[in-house]
Copies of this chain bind each other. A is one copy, B any other.
Amino acid sequence: MVPKMSDDLQVVRQAATLRRQVEDKLRGAIASGRFQPGQRLVERELCELIGVGRTSIREALRQLEAEGLVLTIPHRGPAVSTITSAEAGELYAVRALLEGDAGKGFARHHDGAQLLALQNSIALIKRAAEQTDQGLMLEAKTAFYQVLMDGCGNRFIKQFLMTIHNRVNLLRVKSMMEPGRSVHSLAEINEIYEAVAARDGDRAAVACSNHIRAAAAIALRMLGSEQGPTPNIAKKKKTVVV
């Protein structure tokens, strides 16, 4: 959408406090892979990197720690979280559950604008698939899930899903996986859309769960093969359905 057409009154919505801005910066840096999983985050380095005092850095880190993006060991300091394959499995399991319920909620509560937004995000996904543009694909999928969460009618599910997405993203960064473009994924997403458009909550729930489970299966298989005997040898880019 065009930014100017946003419904929000505040176009330039700068966080009221410095700490929030730092938080966003760090979150972004982790999401983008600028900070790799396992990497230690030394306070003083972050201070001069971002240009704020230790107070703001530390408080922002507390937030990220609570979100699970950062793991702080007492007297050793914070580091970007890593995810074991067992954790990945559990993460995808909860995600399938919540995303399913989010789909159900969306199917039942959505209004015209929300359905349209979903349509648009799906169109974007297809375009990204045709152009095999991985960056665009990631963006489009993020938008898709965003619309779904926003319209699910349950702020807690949305909140939980957001943190789950962030943590799953750690996997993507760590394993250099790319958001997928398989025809299966597109079919699954279409099924979600149809169920939602028909206001069939149960069907939407199943469709969403299946979509996530399919993605999980691929991601976990990839992860399993990676954590084999040769851990760190010339990682190749991989494709997975997110």
Residues of A within 8 A of B (CB): 16-17, 55, 58-59, 62-63, 65-67, 74-75, 87, 90-91, 93-94, 97-98, 101, 153-157, 160, 164
Q: Is there contact, CB below 8 Å, between B17 and A157?
A: no
Q: Which residues of B contact A55 (CB under 8 A)?
A: 55
Mostly helix, strand, loop or mixed at chain A's interface?
helix
Partner of A63 from B62, B93, B155, B164 at Cβ < 8 Å:
B62
Q: Is there contact, CB below 8 Å, between B94 and A160?
A: yes
Partner of A97 from B62, B91, B101, B164 at Cβ < 8 Å:
B101
Q: Which residues of B contact A58 (CB under 8 A)?
A: 59
Give A16's nearest chain B residue, CB to CB: B74
Q: Is there contact, CB below 8 Å, between B74 and A17?
A: yes
Q: Is there contact, CB below 8 Å, between A90 and B59?
A: no
> A66-B62, A97-B98 known; A75 and B156 CB under 8 Å?
no
Chosen A-B contacts, 29 in total, with CB atoms closer than 8 Å, are A16-B74, A17-B74, A55-B55, A58-B59, A59-B59, A59-B62, A62-B63, A63-B65, A63-B66, A66-B66, A66-B67, A87-B156, A90-B153, A90-B154, A90-B155, A90-B156, A90-B157, A93-B101, A93-B154, A94-B98, A94-B101, A94-B154, A94-B156, A94-B157, A94-B160, A97-B97, A97-B98, A97-B101, A156-B164
- The 7 A-B residue pairs whose C-beta atoms are closest, nearest first, are A66-B66, A16-B74, A62-B62, A90-B154, A94-B156, A17-B74, A59-B62
Q: How far is the CA of A96 from the CA of B164 in the complex (A)?
A: 19
